A and B are shown apart, each in its own frame.
Chain A
Amino acid sequence: MKSARLSSAALLVAIFATTGSAHRLDEYLQATRIAVEKDRIDLEIDLTPGAAVADRIVGAIDRDRNGEISLTEKEMYAATLLASLTLKVDSETRRLKISDLVFPSIDEMHRGEGVLRLRTTASIGRAKAGAHRLTFANAHWPDIGAYLVNALVPTDERVHITGQSRDHLQREFTLEYNVSTGRASVPLASVLPVLLSLTLAATLYAVARRLP
């Protein structure tokens, strides 16, 4: 059985290698985007097994080999994935909770087109004003992994990214950021018309009251 699977994988490699393909072949692409908010860290992780390594990944997911991915199998694989991720903020390990999980079909994975989408979040409480350091490490399938990791521009204007660094393969990522105090500022352009309208209304009201 095992040798048959290996032969199948080898055949796929041969087909794709000789004819060209639209798809990733012998790598397991793992793209992570990190969003830093004032009270939490959100991680979007997209995992795409190449066609030539899909058998290995499918085998790790579809444990009963029935050709379908059950909820239990999804949760077990997600737990394995989370166990291979490390997120720290200011040297303190943060627990990642799954907020969304979408699996492709086994067939899509065999074609090298299936994307497993995992969304996680880690609560960090109300971040204190000042400098902070986030570190993220991904040790999931390191022998075939191809990694991307990027920080998203913070939506909260009080969070400012000041630096980022990675190892050559993007398995390890460090993000430096500052949190400032005060309320999030609102762009002047969006409030100016409202303020002026209110001023206009108040002025008209005041003038009208003076009229006989």
Chain B
Amino acid sequence: MKRLPLVSISILLTVLVAAIAARPVATQQSTGGAATASKIVAAANAFLGMLDTAERAKAAYPFDSPQKTNWSNLPSGAYQRNSLRLGDLTPPKQAAVMAVVAAALSAEGYRKVTDIMNADEVLKESRGGQTGARAGAPARGGRGAAFGKEEYYIAILGTPSNTSPWMIQFGGHHLAINVTIAGNDNVLTPSLPAAQPARYTLNGQTIRPLGKENDKAFALMATLNAEQRKQAILNYRVSDLVLGPLQDGKTIQPEGILATALNANQQSMLIDLAKEWVGILNDEGAAARLAEIRSNLPRTYFAWSGATENGGIAYFRIQGPTVVIEYAPQQNDLDHIHTIYRDPTNDYGARLVSK
């Protein structure tokens, strides 16, 4: 009779130890900042608290709502986002929206977002201030595409919380930011930062929303020797994103050069390049995601198609177990860039939520 508890306890301990040992390594790595999580929750609650009933109906969704995948690179008018439009809000409420975005992102990430929005304002102005895509089309709500800073939308999925998962979705033309927060950890995937124009002048300054992405990629290519280039460069044209909007849950067979065929400096440059996307997220979340990417470098590929001299047009892709990044100039136009950032294991926080 006395042996029964001893046997049970020892077996239970064995089970516990084995179960812990069997957990995927990646799930043990994700740590985040409680302070950051609280800051994001506070900003989201402050924003939601300012809304009237009609606005709240457009802004707030259940966490598992189909709204989660309702994002696009397309401008409003051309794509129905359903969520709450910046242009329909008072300036204080617009500021509250941007405060939510700022709380969820890094300073550099927030700058990138506003640079992309300002680019769309430039695009709108270049059309003489008109928003309709076709002559005679209505500016909004009809067939016409609408451009400009007012044409960005926000949705909060789930209840802002330090414990239960929830999500911030912000985007419009050439921008989709999807931040899923679960406890102290958070992810940015899938997200789509893009730009048109990719270079413009604002207040006397030249702005390139995705300039560092371009320059760091060409700088990395410049360090590759002939044998490495042979492995990295695809011998075919890639005219668009392969895993853009509507391609959730898909993993393509990787191509290009394996990161283990790069030297230490090149590997650092590859990580630094990936950081241009990963680092849009707040510092704590980005650090956890970068640690995962670093640990998976032996299974990470870098592929390139197009010109190898900066100033030329090139597509590139970084693909590893927890990252897919694509950079795709549209129709041979250096002034129109689409990119995507995904985590095959963690889009919409799938891995965080399943914990």
- A residues touching B (Cβ–Cβ < 8 Å)? 12, 15, 19-27, 29, 31, 33, 46, 107, 111, 113, 115, 146-148, 150-153, 161, 164-170, 188-189, 192-193, 196-197, 199-200, 203-204, 207-208, 211
B8 x A204 contact (CB < 8 A) = yes
CB–CB A203/B74 < 8 A: no
Question: Which residues of chain B from 1 to 52 have any CB-CB distance to chain A below 8 Å in the complex?
Answer: 1, 3-4, 7-8, 11-12, 14-15, 18-19, 22-24
List of A residues within 8 angstroms of B145 by Cβ? 22, 111
Question: Is the CB–CB distance between A152 and B235 below 8 Å?
Answer: no
Q: How large is the interface on B (under 10, 10 to 19, 20 to 34, 35 or more residues)?
A: 35 or more
- Chain B residues with Cβ below 8 Å from A200 are 8, 11-12, 15
Residues of A within 8 A of B12 (CB): 200
Contact (Cβ within 8 A) A161 B253: yes
Are A15 and B135 interface neighbours, CB within 8 A? yes
Residues of B within 8 A of A169 (CB): 236-237
A203 touches B7 (CB 8 A): yes
Asked if B239 contacts A151 (CB within 8 A), the reply is no
Chain B residues whose CB sits within 8 angstroms of the CB of A25 once the complex forms = 331
Q: Could you give 16 example pairs across A and B, Cβ below 8 Å?
A: A20-B196, A21-B133, A26-B331, A33-B250, A107-B143, A113-B78, A148-B238, A148-B239, A150-B253, A152-B250, A152-B251, A168-B236, A169-B236, A170-B236, A170-B237, A211-B4
Q: Are B253 and A164 in contact (CB under 8 A)?
A: yes
Binding site for A on B (CB under 8 A): 1, 3-4, 7-8, 11-12, 14-15, 18-19, 22-24, 73-75, 78-79, 123, 126-127, 133-135, 143, 145, 173-174, 196-197, 235-240, 242, 246, 250-253, 255, 330-331, 335-336
Closest B residue to A201 by beta carbon equals: B11
Cα A212 to Cα B324 with chains together (Å): 62
Name A175's closest neighbour in chain B (CB-CB). B253
| B195 CB → nearest A CB, Å | 11
- Could you tell me if B253 and A153 are in contact, using CB atoms closer than 8 angstroms? yes
User: Contacts A20-B336, A200-B11; is A150 near B237 (CB within 8 Å)?
Assistant: no
Asked whether A22 and B134 contact (CB < 8 A) given A192-B18, A196-B18, A207-B7, the answer is no
Cβ-neighbour of B331 out of A24, A147, A207 (below 8 A): A24
Would you give the shortest CB distance from A119 to chain B, in whole angstroms? 13
Please give, as numbers and ranges, the residues of chain A lying within 8 Å of B173 by CB-CB distance: 22
Q: Which chain A positions have C-beta within 8 A of B127?
A: 19-20
Set of chain B residues within 8 Å of A148, measured between Cβ atoms? 238-240, 242
Q: Find out whether the CB atom of A146 lies under 8 angstroms from the CB atom of B253.
A: no
Cβ of B253 and Cβ of A111 under 8 Å apart? no
Of the residues B1, B15, B126, B242, contact of A20 by C-beta under 8 Å: B126
Interfacial chain A residues near B174, Cβ < 8 Å: 22
Contact A166 B73 (CB under 8 A): no
> 15 other contacts beyond A25-B331, A29-B240, A200-B12, with CB at 8 A cut-off?
A21-B133, A24-B240, A26-B331, A29-B239, A31-B240, A33-B252, A111-B78, A111-B134, A111-B143, A146-B239, A146-B240, A148-B238, A164-B255, A168-B235, A168-B236
Considering the chains assembled together, what is the distance between the CA atoms of A146 and B241 in angstroms? 12
Report the Cα distance A22→B336, complex, angstroms: 8
In the complex, the 4 A-B pairs of residues with the closest C-beta atoms, listed nearest first: A189-B22, A151-B253, A146-B239, A150-B252
CA of A134 to CA of B251, assembled, Å: 19
Shortest CB-to-CB span from B230 to chain A, Å, is 14
| Contact A203–B19 (Cβ < 8 Å) | no
B79 engages A113 (CB within 8 Å):
yes
Given contacts A23-B74, A113-B79, A203-B11, contact A152 B236 (CB under 8 A): no
Chain A residue nearest to B75 (CB atoms) is A22
Nearest chain A CB to B163's CB is how many angstroms away? 25
A188 — which chain B residues lie within 8 A by C-beta? 22
**Closest Cβ of chain B: how far from A118's Cβ, in Å?**
14
Q: What residue in chain B is nearest A27 (Cβ atoms)?
A: B331
Residue of B nearest to A21 (CB): B133
* B236 and A192 contacting across the interface, CB-CB below 8 Å: no
Nearest chain-A residue to B120 (Cβ)?
A22
C-alpha gap A152/B324 in the complex (Å): 14
B253 to chain A, nearest CB (A): 4
**Residues of chain B contacted by A161 (CB below 8 angstroms):** 253
A168 to B24, CA, bound (A): 39
From residue A24, how far is it (CB to closest CB) to chain B in Å?
Answer: 6
Which single residue of chain B is at the shortest CB-CB distance from A195? Answer: B18
Given contacts A22-B78, A27-B331, A161-B253, contact A168 B237 (CB under 8 A): yes
Structural contact, B255 and A207, CB atoms closer than 8 A: no
Q: How far is the CB of B72 from chain A (nearest CB, A)?
A: 9
Q: Are A150 and B126 in contact (CB under 8 A)?
A: no
Q: Which partner residue on chain B sits nearest A35 by CB separation?
A: B250
